[in-house]
Amino acid sequence: MTQTRVVQVAGPGQQLELVEREIRQPGRGEVLVRVQACGVCHSDAFTVEGGMPIEYPRVPGHEIAGTIQAVGEGVEPWQVGQRVGVGWFGGNCGHCDPCRRGDLISCVNGQVPGIAYDGGYADHVVVPAGALASIPDDLAAVDAAPLLCAGVTTFNALRESGARAGDLVAILGVGGLGHLGVQFARKMGFETVAIARGTDKKEQALQLGAHHYLDSTAVDVAEELQKLGGAVTILATVTAPDAMSSVVGGLRPRGRMVVVGASADPMQIPPFALIPGSTGVLGHASGTSKDSEDTLRFSALQDVRPMVESYPLEQAAEGYDRMMSGGARFRVVLTME
């Protein structure tokens, strides 16, 4: 086979289109992956709408699950036939200051599939070997794909938050990231609080493992968190800065709000809201390929799974629109088989 299907964007703001291309063989340090599933992430809008410097035409997609079909020179220990995934972390330069300090996720020249090079809305994709994460045998590709971005983002942020088993941890937002955050928090042994607008997601949040549910339209969330003893960690998965600002008062002394919901709008938090309890607000990047591997392994061990809506590759445009509408429960995944 020399041809492969890809769904590409010809330029910023243009429609996703299914076309055929020649399969590129992997070069030195690269692997060719036969894609089985690719998650559709809100960040794919950077590619579709042109939010970053991108060379077009470009194939979106950075939640890739599949098997290795070919390896280039100097690739070890990956082998043909091995199940692998690639997430937001799509490679690092190895020579910038963060890389030299071992902080690969902060690489100033970091690559993202679908932005720096063609991504996973395709039957095949060529990626740097350093971007690969091994997928456990008992984790289906359609489940693994969203875990490579939404999953590693929430899992890694929680395990590095400083919270310990038994601590009160709140998940702000029960959506694509938050529904996984609730599961991870419960499985890590935290007393888990799910926070969302209205009651539509209450039953789902409780079924996913939340001990408590707070409707932010009906109660003062910060006050309710303090009644529970104060949150050691609030994981902010929403993209609404006002919602983030309103819950900071729910932190216990020296607690932290960890922000993983991306927004360009500013949060409005007065310094005096932070000083008395020595509380803080910090951002957290997703994680390296090894962090993704840890996420996949933990998810397989603890039965954490994303809730997905699947679309075949040829319906990628519909799947993308479904994700952008906010109506998906809770992730959209493209399937290639």
| Domain co-membership, 140 together with 33 | yes
| Domain co-membership, 188 together with 268 | yes
Angstrom distance (rounded) from CA 142 to CA 40: 11
| Domain co-membership, 120 together with 183 | no
337, pLDDT greater than 80 = no
| Domain co-membership, 12 together with 140 | yes
pLDDT, tens digit (0-9, with 9 covering 90-100), for 220-257: 999 999 999 999 999 999 999 999 999 999 999 999 99
pLDDT, tens digit (0-9, with 9 covering 90-100), for 291-317: 999 999 999 999 999 999 999 999 999
51, pLDDT greater than 90 = no
Dig out the tokens for 170 from the structure: 């709140």
Does residue 155 lie in a domain region? no
Q: Identify the CA nearest to 178 among candidates 255, 104, 240.
A: 240
Does residue 139 lie in a domain region? yes
**Distance, C-alpha 141 to centroid of its chain:** 15
1, pLDDT greater than 70 = no
| Domain co-membership, 166 together with 195 | yes
Hey, which residues does 22 pair with through a beta bridge?
3
Please report how many Cα atoms fall inside a 13 Å half-sphere around the Cα of residue 118, on the Cβ side: 23
Angstrom distance (rounded) from CA 70 to CA 31: 6
CATH code for the domain of 80: 3.90.180.10
pLDDT, tens digit (0-9, with 9 covering 90-100), for 177-210: 999 999 999 999 999 999 999 999 999 999 999 9
Domain interval for residue 315? 3-150+287-335
Does residue 321 lie in a domain region? yes
161 to 256, 258, 260, 335: CA distances (angstroms): 8, 7, 12, 34
The percentage of the chain sitting over the pLDDT mark of 70, rounded to a whole number, equals 100
133, pLDDT greater than 90 = yes
Does residue 60 lie in a domain region? yes
Does residue 44 lie in a domain region? yes
